[in-house]
Amino acid sequence: MIVLGIETSCDETAIAVVREGREILCSEIISQIAIHQPFGGVVPELASQEHCSHILPLLQRALKQAHLSLSEIDLLAVTYGPGLMGALLVGVNTAKALALATKKPLVGVNHVEAHLYAALMSTLTPPPFPCLGVILSGGHTALVLVEDLTQYFLIGQTIDDAIGEAFDKVAKMMGLGYPGGPIIERLAKQGNDTAYSFRAGSVKEQEFAFSFSGLKTAVLYSLSSPLTEDIQRDIAASFQRAAFQDVLKKTTRAAQKWGISHLLFGGGVTNNCSLKTLFEQQAPHLICHWPTPHLSLDNAAMVAGLGFHRYQLFGATDPLSLEPMARIPFQKLP
Ligand code: KG4
Ligand code: ZN
């Protein structure tokens, strides 16, 4: 089965063609980084406009890249949420129009679940369920119990900023570019990670919840003038250490509590090499499944991949009833 995936939940317009949920025939992405860079974050209206101008040319480009025509596609899969409403509307309406015009089946895919599926697409030996899902992206930070590809239960999530958002905001405060994650990672490599005693927040009576806004404020108060490159490096290293130590601590505790040894990582922050090294060194008993760099950032291959399985399990969605959803909460633990 050949699936065409469409992703427009945030600032990447992406279309991919994937065979049997795994084999990527093409995965095209138009990034809007340059558009949003001057603002230090994503401007929702601009994101929607950009998706509108790019989506149809990108569809043609993707099909050409995969050496396929639209008639050879068996299934359409689209991210219906969570994300920016105006941005989601572009992908969902394009997918609905394609489904109605071509009479092909359509499935809606949850973007965050797709981020976790990206780790499964990246590994040759699929882990046994249940797994512990660790979502670390620009819009989401959560630990979830993944029972199978259809059941996800929330263990804990951020009560304020997402971890990637904290990286972006810290970079912005230091006058660095956007997105902040890769810049902070690069600076942190040469910095002293104990120069500042930053800590991420803990949440009362919610052992597995995250809070990064206090950490971000602590960084703000530590900014001195002049902000030399040496100071920037030390701040970046200390901030990154504090954020990742917190993820490590809560993840290992959750794995222990639920007796799980396989971790599925998802989201752009999982690109960070220091994070991978930290888990390798400090949690060698856990088996970590990381998405490849291409599949960690927003992409449509993970959407097509998970869409394939959803169709096998539940069949198609009625194209006229599929609506975008800005927020899709995870189910509570039973
Ligand atoms: O998953 P993603 O593409 O978008 C969302 O679904 O939110 O993640 C983007 C986020 C940005 O906040 C970016 O700064 C962060 O991932 N990021 C990183 C790295 N590469 C991207 N954070 C830390 N280290 C990195 N190397
Ligand atoms: Zn994402």
What are the pLDDT digits (tens) for 233-264?
999 999 999 999 999 999 999 999 999 999 99
User: Per-residue b/e over 212-243, b at no fewer than 16 CB within 10 Å?
Assistant: bbebbebbeebeeeeeeeebbbbbbbbbbbbb
Angle formed by the axes of helices 213-222 and 229-258, nearest 10°: 160
| Span 146-164, pLDDT tens digits | 999 999 999 999 999 999 9
Residues around the ion ligand 2 (C-beta < 5 A): 137, 298
Q: What is the DSSP letter of 71?
A: G
Q: Tell me which residue has its CA closest to atom 5 in ligand 1.
A: 138
Minimal-distance CA residue to ligand 1 atom 10: 138
Does 179 sit in the ligand 1 pocket, CB within 6 Å? yes
CA gyration radius, the chain: 20
Looking at residue 34, its pLDDT comes to: 92
Residue type (1 letter), 11: D
Tens digit of each residue's pLDDT (9 = 90 or more) over 21-74: 999 999 999 999 999 988 878 899 999 999 999 999 999 999 999 999 999 999
The torsion angle over the Cα atoms of residues 183, 326, 330 and 11, rounded to 10 degrees, is: -20
Supply the residue whose CA is at minimum distance from atom 4 of ligand 1: 138
Instruction: Give the residue-averaged pLDDT of 266-281.
Output: 98
Instruction: Please determine, for residue 225, whether its predicted confidence score (pLDDT) is greater than 90.
Output: no
- Each residue of 190-219: pLDDT tens digit? 999 999 999 999 999 999 999 999 999 999
- Which residue has the CA at smallest separation from atom 13 of ligand 1? 181
Secondary structure string (H, E, C) spanning 283-333:
CCCCEEECCCHHHHCCCCHHHHHHHHHHHHHHCCECCCCCCCCCCCCCEEC
Cα of 191 to ligand 1 centre, how many Å?
A: 20
Question: Does the pLDDT of residue 317 top 90, yes or no?
Answer: yes
Cβ–ligand 1 contact at 272 (below 6 Å): yes
- 119-126, long-range: CB within 8 Å, 24+ apart, which pairs? 119/264, 119/265, 119/266, 119/289, 119/290, 119/291, 119/295, 120/264, 120/289, 120/305, 121/21, 121/22, 121/24, 121/291, 121/295, 121/301, 121/302, 121/305, 122/289, 122/290, 122/291, 122/292, 122/295, 123/289
- Model pTM? 0.96
Cα–ligand 2 centroid distance for 195 (angstroms): 32
